[in-house]
Amino acid sequence: MRFVLGLLCFAGCTLDGKVEGKLASDWQLLGVEDGQSVPMDQLGNFGQLSGCVTATLRSNVDVRVTTAYQNLVVKPEQQISLCFDDLGPQSITIEPANDVANASTLEVELTEVATNDCYDQLKLYQVDYEVGRESEGVTDPVVVTMPLNGVSYRFAGSTNFRDTFFMDCRLAVALARSAYSLRSRNIFEVEDIGVYNYRCIGGGTPDETCTPSGCSSSCSLSQHAFARGIDIASLTDAEGTRYSIEDDWVIDSGAGVCEQADRGAKDKLLHDVICEMNERRIWNVTLTPNYNAAHRNHWHVDLKDGSDFIERVDHAPVTYQSEHQHSH
């Protein structure tokens, strides 16, 4: 990424360059300006989209540069990269060594990268894919080369990792986004129970009346019929520890899915992962073992348009009761 070099500030001056007093030591940080717009177009350490700026210190003393993500002591002529993981304004504080009185702060604005379509979003996450075969119900079919943003997938019961995975493009983007919630917890393997299955919710074959907007018959199309839902059975970390939805998830009682007390390390990790994904709005619908017996051994997550739902045990599902009363 290339940025126009510009003067950040001198110790003892305001951000507009006005000198306020005698300088103890002159310094410049070249490569970033107050108010600069920074696109989130790079992948961070855990697969998240980040925005980064590169800067070089011109000084005869060390300078401390601090952000919400980094705390660096920068030496003269040293080049640094400052990266941010959240949209909106982000502060950078610059403090000459042992000179707190002359600390300065500026802000950069982290912005989303404009994309034309779903395929552009996959490119942002550096996902390797091909356009998939035309399949009933699937709007934008893609075949993704595994692993997907650093996470490997294998079908439940199989010891072999998937080489490729067929799905709708939107689901591929959601899985790319979900990688942060996994990789930041040292999770690099997902055991799934599948994505695409052109069927009704609870089973059954859709008839000729079914369209992507619904059916005139009693069939309600599953999000699996659109390849926009996935069932997840377990997670495995880099050390080989497996976190099973069936064996390690403790069904909550008296509190919501994301409000439960800790019930062991494995249960906590599973709750932390799915609740962070929900907080980040990766999925529109999230069903856990709290939902019903049919989901005791997996999470069902999908991208149902217009939905925003995670099962809570303190009330019965309202919007989705009839649609999700059986297995997805």
Q: List pLDDT tens digits, range 149-204.
A: 999 999 999 999 999 999 999 999 999 999 999 999 999 999 999 999 888 776 66
Write out pLDDT tens, residues 89-120.
999 988 886 666 678 888 999 999 999 999 99
Q: For residue 300, give the 3-state DSSP assignment.
A: strand
Both tokens of 205, joined, read 């074959």
Rounded Cα distance between 10 and 14, Å, is 8
Rounded Cα distance between 211 and 226, Å, is 10
**Residue 1 confidence (pLDDT) above 90:** no
**Residue 19 confidence (pLDDT) above 70:** no
Q: Provide the pLDDT for residue 52.
A: 95
Average pLDDT taken over every residue of the chain: 82
**Residue 217 confidence (pLDDT) above 70:** no
Average pLDDT over residues 286-299: 88
Contact (Cβ atoms closer than 8 angstroms) between residue 26 and residue 11: yes
Beta-carbon count within 10 A of 260 CB: 19
Q: For residue 182, give the 3-state DSSP assignment.
A: helix
Q: Provide the pLDDT for residue 282.
A: 95
> Which residue type occupies 216?
S
Rounded Cα distance between 111 and 39, Å, is 5
Residue of higher predicted confidence among 118 and 214: 118
Write out pLDDT tens, residues 75-84.
999 999 999 9
Domain ranges of the chain: 27-111, 118-310
Fold of 27-111: Immunoglobulin-like (2.60.40)
Residue of higher predicted confidence among 312 and 321: 312
Q: Say if strands 49-59 and 42-43 run parallel, antiparallel, or are unpaired.
A: antiparallel
pTM of structure = 0.80
Beta-carbon count within 10 A of 8 CB: 24
Report the percentage of the chain scoring pLDDT > 90: 59
CATH code of the region 118-310: 3.30.1380
Q: Provide the pLDDT for residue 14.
A: 35
**Residue 41 confidence (pLDDT) above 50:** yes
**Residue 21 confidence (pLDDT) above 90:** no
Write out pLDDT tens, residues 51-84.
999 999 888 888 889 999 999 999 999 999 999 9
